[in-house]
Amino acid sequence: MVHSMANNVSHKLSHTMIRGRTYYTNFRLNDSTSFVRLSLGTDSQKQAEVIMNQVRPYTPLVQNGTMSIE
């Protein structure tokens, strides 16, 4: 059941999944071998959307190595 929820969420929140009750963001680094998964620290879809809207502009900077994950 959780797997199907993750698929539904990923359509609404790009690069986002839910494991258990916590939302995570997922993306690959540009080297194509490294995968990043970071907890959004929430079980609320609305709060996850707000966090992703704040984080989204920085994702390409992390992907290309201009900015660290921290």
Over the stretch 35-46, which tens digit does the pLDDT of each residue have?
889 999 999 999
Instruction: Please give the pLDDT value at position 22.
Output: 95
pTM across the whole model: 0.70
Quote the CA–CA distance of 19 and 28 in Å, as a whole number. Answer: 18
Range of the domain at 12: 2-63
Instruction: Please give the pLDDT value at position 1.
Output: 38
Residue 22 lies in a domain: yes
Residue 69 lies in a domain: no
**What single-letter amino acid sits at 47?**
Q
- 2 has pLDDT over 90: no
Contact of 31 with 43, CB cutoff 8 Å: no
Query: Looking at the 3D structure of the chain, how many domains does it have?
Result: 1
